[in-house]
Chain A
Amino acid sequence: MALRELKVCLLGDTGVGKSSIVWRFVEDSFDPNINPTIGASFMTKTVQYQNELHKFLIWDTAGQERFRALAPMYYRGSAAAIIVYDITKEETFSTLKNWVKELRQHGPPNIVVAIAGNKCDLIDVREVLERDAKDYADSIHAIFVETSAKNAININELFIEISRRIPSTDANPPCGGKGFKLRRQPSEPKRSCC
């Protein structure tokens, strides 16, 4: 079975949960008191997709402004970028749009963009409507999914969808691409008491 290394970077405002998403995906665990990332942290995870093994080389970048200028090193050569916003903070969605612009201008030409609206467990304090985010994602042909790193919602699905969208090394790419709708979570997500 062929092993492919796929560089993936996570971008987005500080505190939206980029590291938590990676931690959930790689370790299947969640720590509410995670420290802010310095520069970027790196993790890997190998998954099987059809007849290939995809080794994700995940660069989880720091959201803090002082590390803003370092981003190109992480999206350079990336097969996919996951841009994360916090559904409870409108301004993180604006930051996301800036990331999309930057990737358009300076990112690799065929980069798969995935938009993750994290903290979907905090539906009570939602500020970004799912419909709006979905429309925006469709308009730029990006993957869209609302996630909760805390409750493990849609995290694996997010990466599976990235695997699907990444051009196969074979001549015949599997179907997929635009318009794919991810498996929805139950309409009433589990609440966590606070």
Chain B
Amino acid sequence: MALRGLAGSGPSSRGPLEEAVAPAEERETPAMVAAGAAREDDDEDDGRGRGLLRWDGFSAWLHCVCVVGFDLELGQAVEVIYPQHSKLTDKEKTNICYLSFPDSNSGCLGDTQFCFRFRQSSGRRVSLHCLLDQFDKDLPVYLKKDPAYFYGYVYFRQIRDKSLKRGYFQKSLVLISKLPYIHFFHTVLKQIAPEYFEKSEPYLEAACNDVDRWPAPVPGKTLYLPITGVVMKVRIPTCHDKPGTTQIAQLTQQADTHISVILPTVHEVDLFRCFCPVFFHSQMLWELVLLGEPLVVMAPSPSESSETVLALVNCISPLKYFSDFRPYFTIHDSEFKEYTTRTQAPPSVILGVTNPFFAKTLQHWPHIIRIGDLKPAGEIPKQVKVKKLKNLKTLDSKPGVYTSYKPYLSRDDEIIKQLQKGVQQKRPSEAQSVILRRYFLELTQSFIIPLERYVASLMPLQKSISPWKSPPQLRQFIPEEFMKTLEKAGPQLTSRIKGDWIGLYRHFLKSPNFDGWFKTRRKEMTQKLEALHLEALCEEDLLLWTQKHTEVETVDLVLKLKNKLLQADREHLPVKPDTVGKLRTHIDAIISALPEDLQGILLKTGMT
């Protein structure tokens, strides 16, 4: 059998891994009726029941909660860290302080929500929760945790208060987490922050306690997350979901948000609202993000900068954006110098900024998006033309995209017409976002399918797998060979968009996004080969083999097999469920046929 076509026909189809986990549906059946029934859902267990220590439940979701205030003498300062034992380095604290407040010029009276992302200090012990790693493997690639970064989710309040020396009450409640669940944490903060500002410490203690009792963030399950009097229902997507679908079932008609809230998504942003100011250039921006071009979003406030950056990163989904992105970046950031230096070409990053100082600092950047206030699904700006970079003045430049980039693909006017019509008909922003999201998804899929297909063809034939040799290697990725496949099986099969697709691919192959994508695929395929090799070994009559070989060779085989088993366990190799068990039986049989002194030694080595 040839294994070609293994990686399937689309980015969603992960062939070999598919059988691993089917989304578990909520175990809510009418079977548990009547008083006296046992508690129906283990997931609502308070954590300790599963033998978890206090705060283990909390740290599966959040690293810590910070309160950042303004001290007249010190400036911004972290006033509270909860839980108190959470570790943040001084550098991390400084970053959090600056990133948790809007730049002084952006006003922001009232309540403002935004998000930032910052680099974890080097030398910090990487605390990979073994339990969570297991969840990580079922997540879509774009939702996997990045061990080197934290997210900060901010709720900032600034109101006049004459009783304070500064004349203003200014405070941020900040959630620090590894999880990129932007919409989810946004909703959590909206729920807890306003009350926190009224009721302070005991409230924070209560909220953190609620989080500590949450079930673990398992992908594919409907999770019930009670917090401060409200139950939030969410479902974290899995890599096995069909892209572009949400799968949270509404079982009850519950309109009262004081009781429960259903989140249709944990990570998506309102794409249309964010793209609205630069709506005509959506497709060009998609290209720039896909190619990992340096991009800066200059916005009037951090909420607009962060939303827009996240929308950009989101628009190439289900592809993961592999370079760094900073939804809100300030001149105090520890990477400020690294990212703004003129001594080398601008890095492949997307920055969201609000400080006008950046207009000068980043003047040399090739692509600049300038947006005004995001209007709630309002008018679409009239101007269509891309602006010349030299017209970008420091302060008073108009909204638009400033670049000299010539897109590879010709613009799809149909989507623009469709969205324009939607605006005329006052179609809600959410509906417009769905249209735009589907359009981006189709575009990304059309682009990636030929690559998926070609990469799948690099898989060796099954017959080349021999139990007595190392697993065969993947064939090399040869760009020219790939380009040739485009004639017959290029994006023209699935997309009506014309233009220089070949040019786009050539450019993409040099980008960090290709690099990251290919590494992921190669790893999956190598693991699949390892798994197939393991299965091939399993099918052999190993005992018979040992009878024909010397004792030394037999011992060598046992050690090799034990190593394989360890690897299968460690890397979660996609083996058939009974393979590991079978191999163990083989090993035991071989060992028990050996002399007793050897048996003792072999049983102890490489325990699995």
Known: A42-B44, A43-B44. A70 touches B30 (CB 8 A): no
For B202, the chain A residues whose CB sits under 8 A away are 39, 66-67, 69-70
- The answer, yes or no, to whether A76 is at the interface (CB within 8 Å) is yes
Map CB proximity to A onto B11-39 as digits: 1 under 8 Å, 0 otherwise.
Answer: 00000000000000000101011111111
Contact partner of B37 (CB less than 8 A), chosen from A4, A41, A46, A160, is A46
Known: A53-B30, A55-B252, A156-B35. A38 touches B205 (CB 8 A): yes
Give which listed residue, A4, A46, A66, contacts B32 with CB less than 8 A: A46
- Residues of A close to B229: CB separation below 8 A: 7, 9, 40, 59, 73-74, 76-77
- Write 11 A-B pairs (CB below 8 A) sorted by A numbering: A3-B28, A5-B254, A7-B259, A38-B205, A42-B210, A44-B39, A45-B37, A53-B30, A59-B229, A70-B195, A73-B229
Contact with B along A100-143 (1 / 0, CB 8 A): 00000000000000000000000000000000000000000000
Known: A1-B30, A5-B254, A39-B228. 6 other contacts (CB 8 A): A7-B258, A39-B205, A42-B213, A45-B40, A47-B37, A69-B199
What residues make up the interface of A, taking CB atoms closer than 8 Å to B? Answer: 1, 3-5, 7, 9, 25-28, 38-48, 53, 55, 57, 59, 62, 66-67, 69-70, 73-74, 76-77, 156, 159-160
Contacts of B252 in A (CB 8 A): 3-5, 55
* B206 CB-CB contact with A under 8 Å: yes
- Known interface pairs A45-B37, A159-B35; A39-B207 also in contact (CB < 8 Å): yes
Task: Tell me the bound Cα distance from A28 to B37 in angstroms.
Answer: 9
* Distance to closest chain B CB from A168 (angstroms): 14
Question: Which one of B28, B38, B213 lies within 8 Å of A41 (CB-CB)?
Answer: B213
Measured between beta carbons, the chain A residues less than 8 angstroms from B230 are: 73, 77
Q: List B contacts of A77 (CB < 8 A).
A: 229-230, 256-259
Q: Which single member of B34, B39, B203, B256 contacts A26 (CB below 8 Å)?
A: B39
A46 x B260 contact (CB < 8 A): no
| Binary CB contact string for chain B from 34 to 53 against chain A (1 if under 8 A, 0 otherwise) | 11111111001010000000
Do B206 and A62 touch (CB < 8 A)? yes
A72 CB to closest chain B CB, in angstroms? Answer: 8
- Residues A70 and B33 in contact in the complex (CB < 8 Å), given A42-B44, A46-B40: no
A25 contacts across to B, CB distance below 8 A: 35
Complex CA gap A106/B39 in Å reads 31
Contact B206 A38 (CB under 8 A): yes
CB distance from B512 to the nearest CB of A (A): 44
Q: Residue on B with the closest CB to A37?
A: B209
Q: How far is the CB of B143 from chain A (nearest CB, A)?
A: 26
When chains A and B are docked, how far (Å) is the Cα of A62 from the Cα of B37? 26
Asked if A39 and B33 sit within 8 Å, CB to CB, the answer is: no
Instruction: Verify B44–A160 contact, CB threshold 8 A.
Output: no
Q: Contacts A66-B202, A69-B202, A156-B35 hold; do A42 and B259 have CB atoms under 8 A apart? A: no
When distances are taken between beta carbons in the complex, the residues of chain A under 8 Å from B152 are none
User: Is B219 in the interface zone, CB < 8 Å from A?
Assistant: no
Q: Which residue of the partner chain A has the closest CB to B228? A: A73
Give, as a whole number of angstroms, the nearest-CB distance from A79 to chain B: 9
Is B206 within 8 A of A70, CB to CB? yes
Which of A3, A76, A156 lies in contact with B36, CB distance below 8 A? A156
Asked, given contacts A5-B260, A77-B258, whether A47 binds B33 with beta carbons under 8 Å apart, the answer is: yes
Q: Which residues of B contact A42 (CB under 8 A)?
A: 44, 210, 213, 226, 231
Residues of chain B contacted by A4 (CB below 8 angstroms)? 252
Q: Which single residue of chain B is at the shortest CB-CB distance from A77? A: B258
Residues of chain B within 8 A (CB-CB) of A62 are: 206
In the bound complex, CA of A57 to CA of B210 (Å): 14
Residue of A5, A38, A45, A46 contacting most chain B CB atoms (<10 Å): A46
Q: Does B74 interact with chain A (Cβ within 8 Å)?
A: no
Task: Tell me if B195 and A73 are in contact (CB < 8 A).
Answer: yes
Chain A residues with CB below 8 A from B231, complex form: 42, 57
Distance from A157 Cβ to chain B, minimum over Cβ atoms (Å): 9
Once bound together, how far apart are the Cα atoms of A41 and B39, in whole Å? 15
- Cβ B209 vs Cβ A39 within 8 A: yes
Contacts of B32 in A (CB 8 A): 46
Closest to B257 in A: A77
A contact residues around B607 at 8 Å (CB): none
Please measure, in the bound complex, the distance between the C-alpha atom of A48 and the C-alpha atom of B40, giving whole angstroms: 13
Smallest beta-carbon distance A40→chain B, Å: 6
CB within 8 Å of A: which B207-256 residues: 207, 209-210, 213, 224, 226, 228-231, 251-252, 254, 256
Q: Give Cα distance in the complex from A44 to B251, angstroms.
A: 15
Across the two chains, which residue of chain B brings its CB closest to A57? B231
Of A43, A53, A74, A76, the residue contacting B39 (CB under 8 A) is: A43
Contacts of A48 in B (CB 8 A): 30, 33-34
Q: Given the complex of chains A and B, what is the CA–CA distance between A62 and B202 in angstroms?
A: 11
Instruction: Kindly state the separation between the CA atoms of A27 and B231 in the bound complex, as whole angstroms.
Output: 20
Q: Which residues of B contact A59 (CB under 8 A)?
A: 226, 229
Measured in the bound complex, the distance between the Cα atoms of B176 and A141 in whole Å is 47
Contacts of B35 in A (CB 8 A): 25, 47, 156, 159-160
User: Are A45 and B39 neighbours in the complex by a CB distance under 8 Å?
Assistant: yes
A70 touches B228 (CB 8 A): yes
Collect the chain A residues with CB atoms within 8 Å of residue B205's CB.
38-39
- Cα distance, A38 to B202, chains bound together (Å): 9
Closest chain A CB from B531 CB (angstroms): 40
Question: In the complex, which of the residues A39, A74, A77, A156 has the most CB atoms of chain B within 10 Å of its own CB atom?
Answer: A39
Give B26 Cβ to nearest chain A Cβ, in Å.
11
Interface contact B206-A39, CB-CB below 8 Å: yes
**Closest chain A residue to B260, Cβ basis:** A5
Distance (whole angstroms) from the CB of A51 to the closest CB of chain B:
11
B226 with A47: CB separation less than 8 A: no
Chain A proximity of B258: nearest CB distance (Å): 3
**How far in angstroms is the closest Cβ of chain A from B231?**
6
Which of chain A's residues have a CB closer than 8 A to the CB of B203? 39, 69-70
> B256: which A residues are within 8 A, CB to CB?
77
Please name the residue on chain B nearest to A157 by beta carbon. Answer: B35
How far does the alpha carbon of A55 sit from the alpha carbon of B271 in the complex, in Å? Answer: 36
**What are the residues of chain A within 8 A of B39 when measuring CB–CB?**
26-27, 43-45
CA distance A47 to B231 in the complex (A): 19
Alpha-carbon gap, A127 to B230, bound state (A)? 36
Task: Tell me, in angstroms, the Cα distance from A48 to B32 when the chains sit together.
Answer: 8
CB distance from B324 to the nearest CB of A (A): 37
Given A46-B32, A73-B228, A67 and B44 contact (CB-CB distance below 8 Å) = no
Shortest Cβ distance from A65 into chain B, in angstroms?
A: 10
